[in-house]
Amino acid sequence: MGRTPCCEKGHTNKGAWAREEDERLIAYIQAHGEGCWRSLPKAAGLLRCGKSCRLRWINYLRPDVKRGNFTDEEDELIIKLHSLLGNKWSKIAARLPGRTDNEIKNHWNTNIKRKLHSKGIDPVTHRPINEHVSSTNTKLTCTNQNKPDGEEKSPELNLELRISLPSASP
């Protein structure tokens, strides 16, 4: 028997957060800091499971979360990083200050995917949808997508990865 259960079944709210719940969560974290999501809801007087509190805080309530439209630069960076990392949203989010993985994921699925499609690019492989289009292009992107750890990319992308992934061996 390791630990106590994550959330008491039957006592938790679900669905959209009420303003009062938000305020309680913010107040609690401001007073005690993040961490120990399991015990947080009880301590903060919330009828939510810790998982839900964590998500709400990270995606919405955190003071440094930037809301609003993505800039073209951000779009491009997301596309680049996605071509290197795949659906590693948390890694991508780490390179975009103020953006959350959930937000980026949503943005990708709603906007960027379509944008790439309209350019004739497969958003999964980052290769032209029409396979006969250009064999030279496919060569490059092809190597990229098979090696998510960032070897043999264009120098520009390599640079970005080096900067972004210093924690590879802590």
Among 10, 16, 118, 170, binds DNA (CB under 7 A): 16
Among 24, 80, 82, 91, binds DNA (CB under 7 A): 91
As measured in angstroms, the least distance from the Cβ of 139 to DNA is 25
Q: Does 165 bind DNA (CB under 7 A)?
A: no
Q: Does 14 bind DNA (CB under 7 A)?
A: yes
> Which lies closer to DNA via its Cβ, residue 52 or residue 141?
52
Cα within 13 Å of Cα(24), Cβ side: 15
As measured in angstroms, the least distance from the Cβ of 76 to DNA is 18
Among 24, 56, 126, 127, binds DNA (CB under 7 A): 56
> Which lies closer to DNA via its Cβ, residue 58 or residue 142?
58
Distance CA 140, CA 144 (A): 7
Among 24, 99, 103, 160, binds DNA (CB under 7 A): 103
> What is the helix (H) or strand (E) element at residue 59, kind and residue range?
none
> Which lies closer to DNA via its Cβ, residue 4 or residue 130?
4
DSSP letters, 104-166, are HHHHIIIIIHHHHHHTTB-TTT-SBSSTTS-HHHHHHHHHHHH-TT--S--HHHHHHHHHH-G
Size of the site for DNA (CB under 7 A): 38
24-40 CB burial, b ≥16 within 10 A, e <16 = bbbebbeeeeeeebbeb
- Alpha-carbon 15 to chain mean position: 21
Q: Does 42 bind DNA (CB under 7 A)?
A: no
